[in-house]
C-alpha cells in the first residue's frame, strides 16, 4: 500500500507539473482568418470556405466540431493603405477603418456566413460542447506619427499625441461592439480584441491603456508576437490577457526543427499558448513543398504536450486548411485529417472542459 501511495503521489505531481506548462484561455483552438483587403479576392470567406474549419467528417464517417474560435484580422486594404506598420506605403485613415468594419459585416461573408453555417451544422451534429463559437477582432493600428487619420468630434487627430491614438482605438472598439451587438448572431460570442502589431515597437506606451479599455467592456485583449519579437515574453506587463508564441519555423527551410523545441520551451516558460503555422506550401504538389515541416510542428507539439495542455492559434496562410481537404492528392487529405483529428478530440466534452480556462 505504501508503494502504491508513492506512485499515486508521483503521478499527481507529474500531472500537476504538466498542467503548469504553457497556458490556456477562453478559446482552445483559434483559426486566423485574414479578411477584408481587396487583394484577397481569391479567398471569399463565405459558407463554403468556412465549412472545413467548422466541422469535418472523420474516417468513421462521423461529423465533428473543429475550431471553437476565429480571429478576423487584416494588415492592409489592398488599395495602398495599411492597418499595421510596414505593410503598404500609406497608413489607413478613418475612412479605411470604417470600410474594414463594413467588410466584416457583409451579409454573405465573414460573421454572417460563419453564423449561418453553424446553424445548419447544429442540425446535423447537435450543439457543440462549447455552446457558441468565439470571435476575436483585430484592431487597426493607430500608427505613431500619422497625421492624416481624420476627425473625431470635430477634432483632427494627430498620432504623435498618445491621447489621440487612444481616442481612435477606443472609437473603433465602440463602433465594432455596437455593430456586432446589433446583428444578434445566435451562434457567435464576441470575446475580445487582438493587437495586430507583432512586436512592441509601435505599441509602447499605449497597449496597457488599450487593454484596460477592452477589459472595461468585459472582453479580453490578445496578442501573437513573432519569434524573438521585442516584448514577446512580457505580454502581461504590456496589458494583454493572453498571448500565443509564433515559432516562425515553417516558412524558412534553413531553420532547423530544433526551433520548434526552442519555441515550446519559451512559450512554456512565459506561460503563453503556441501557434501552429503553415500555408499553401504544405500541399504535397507545391513547388518546394514544406509538407514535412507541417508534420514537424505536429510532432513537436505532441512531444511537448501542447495538444494536451495549451491553447493553440493556427496560422494557415490565406486558406491552406481548406486547400488540404479540397485537394485531389491523398497526401494532402492525410495532413488535414492528422490535424483535424487532434482539434476534434480537443472539442470532446471532457477534453474541452479540461482545456478551457476556468
Average pLDDT over residues 287-307: 98
Q: How high is the pLDDT of residue 7? A: 41
Beta bridge partner(s), residue 138: 194
- Say which range, 12-16, 89-93, 123-127, 151-155, has the weakest mean pLDDT: 12-16
Average pLDDT over residues 6-14: 40
pLDDT of 80-89, one tens digit each? 999 999 999 9
Please give the CATH number for the structural domain made up of 25-355: 3.20.20.70
Higher pLDDT, 167 or 12: 167
pLDDT for 124 beyond 70: yes
Q: How high is the pLDDT of residue 328? A: 98
Nearest to 17 by CA among 358, 243, 276, 309: 309
Q: How high is the pLDDT of residue 211? A: 98
CA separation for the pair 249, 276 (Å, rounded): 10
CB 245 within 8 Å of CB 274: yes
Average pLDDT over residues 248-258: 98
Nearest to 50 by CA among 124, 105, 108, 130: 108
Q: Residues near 8 by Cβ (< 8 Å), separated by ≥ 6?
A: none
**What residue has cell string 497608413?**
91
- Say which range, 60-74, 148-162, 191-205, 229-243, has the weakest mean pLDDT: 191-205
Cα–Cα distances in angstroms (integers) from residue 357 to residues 26, 185, 242, 283, 354, in the given order? 5, 24, 11, 34, 8
Q: How high is the pLDDT of residue 339? A: 99
- Band (6; pLDDT cuts 50, 70, 90): very low
C-alpha cell at 189: 460570442
pLDDT for 152 beyond 90: yes
Higher pLDDT, 277 or 202: 277
Nearest to 357 by CA among 119, 115, 19: 19
Beta bridge partner(s), residue 312: 29, 274
264-301 burial, b at 16+ Cβ within 10 Å, e below that, comes to: bebbbebbbbbbbbbbbbbbeeeeebbbebbbbbbebb
What percent of the chain has a predicted confidence (pLDDT) above 70? 94
CA separation for the pair 71, 88 (Å, rounded): 22
pLDDT of 158-186, one tens digit each? 999 999 999 999 999 999 999 999 999 99
CA separation for the pair 194, 251 (Å, rounded): 23
pLDDT for 4 beyond 50: no
- Band (20; pLDDT cuts 50, 70, 90): low
- Band (201; pLDDT cuts 50, 70, 90): confident
pLDDT for 312 beyond 50: yes
pLDDT for 295 beyond 90: yes
What percent of the chain has a predicted confidence (pLDDT) above 90? 91
CA separation for the pair 159, 172 (Å, rounded): 15
Average pLDDT over residues 278-286: 99
Nearest to 123 by CA among 173, 191, 55: 55
User: The pTM is what?
Assistant: 0.94
Average pLDDT over residues 221-235: 96
DSSP letters spanning 11-78: HHHHHHHHHHSS---S-SEEEEEE---GGGTTS--SHHHHHHHHEEE-TTS-EEE--SEEEEE-SB-S
Q: What's the whole-number average pLDDT of the chain?
A: 94
CA separation for the pair 264, 245 (Å, rounded): 8
pLDDT of 343-353, one tens digit each? 999 999 999 99
Domain residue spans of the chain: 25-355
pLDDT of 51-99, one tens digit each? 999 999 998 999 999 999 999 999 999 999 999 999 999 999 999 999 9
pLDDT for 9 beyond 80: no
Element (H, E) at 242: strand 242-245
Amino acid at each position: 500500500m505504501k508503494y502504491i501511495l508513492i506512485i499515486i503521489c508521483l503521478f499527481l505531481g507529474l500531472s500537476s507539473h504538466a498542467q503548469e506548462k504553457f497556458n490556456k484561455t477562453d478559446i482552445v483552438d483559434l483559426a486566423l482568418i485574414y479578411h477584408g483587403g481587396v487583394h484577397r479576392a481569391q479567398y471569399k470567406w463565405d459558407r463554403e470556405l468556412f465549412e472545413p474549419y467548422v466541422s469535418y467528417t472523420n474516417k468513421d464517417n462521423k461529423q465533428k466540431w473543429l475550431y471553437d474560435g476565429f480571429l478576423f484580422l487584416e494588415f492592409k486594404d489592398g488599395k495602398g493603405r495599411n492597418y499595421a506598420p510596414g505593410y503598404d506605403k500609406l497608413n489607413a485613415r478613418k475612412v479605411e477603418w470604417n470600410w474594414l468594419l463594413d467588410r466584416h459585416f457583409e451579409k454573405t461573408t465573414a460573421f454572417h456566413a460563419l453564423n449561418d453555417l453553424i446553424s445548419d451544422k447544429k442540425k446535423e451534429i447537435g450543439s457543440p460542447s462549447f455552446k457558441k463559437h468565439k470571435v476575436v477582432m483585430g484592431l487597426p493600428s493607430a500608427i505613431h506619427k500619422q497625421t492624416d487619420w481624420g476627425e473625431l468630434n470635430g477634432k483632427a487627430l494627430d498620432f504623435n499625441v498618445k491621447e489621440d491614438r487612444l481616442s481612435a482605438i477606443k472609437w473603433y472598439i465602440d463602433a465594432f461592439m455596437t455593430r456586432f451587438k446589433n446583428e444578434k448572431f445566435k451562434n457567435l460570442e464576441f470575446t475580445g480584441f487582438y493587437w495586430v502589431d507583432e512586436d512592441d515597437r509601435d505599441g509602447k506606451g499605449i497597449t496597457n491603456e488599450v487593454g484596460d479599455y477592452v477589459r472595461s467592456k468585459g472582453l479580453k485583449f490578445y496578442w501573437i508576437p513573432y519569434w524573438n519579437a521585442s516584448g514577446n515574453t512580457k505580454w502581461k506587463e504590456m496589458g494583454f490577457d493572453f498571448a500565443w508564441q509564433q515559432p516562425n519555423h515553417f516558412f524558412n527551410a534553413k531553420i532547423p526543427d530544433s526551433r520548434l523545441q526552442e519555441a515550446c520551451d519559451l512559450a512554456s516558460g512565459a506561460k503563453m499558448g503556441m501557434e501552429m503555422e503553415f500555408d499553401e506550401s504544405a500541399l504535397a504538389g507545391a513547388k518546394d513543398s514544406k509538407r514535412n515541416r507541417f508534420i514537424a510542428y505536429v510532432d513537436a507539439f505532441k512531444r511537448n504536450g501542447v495538444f494536451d495542455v495549451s491553447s493553440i492559434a493556427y496560422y494557415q496562410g490565406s486558406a491552406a486548411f481548406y486547400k488540404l481537404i479540397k485537394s485531389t492528392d491523398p497526401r494532402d487529405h492525410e495532413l488535414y485529417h492528422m490535424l483535424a483529428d487532434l482539434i476534434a478530440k480537443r472539442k470532446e466534452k471532457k477534453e474541452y472542459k479540461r482545456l478551457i480556462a476556468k
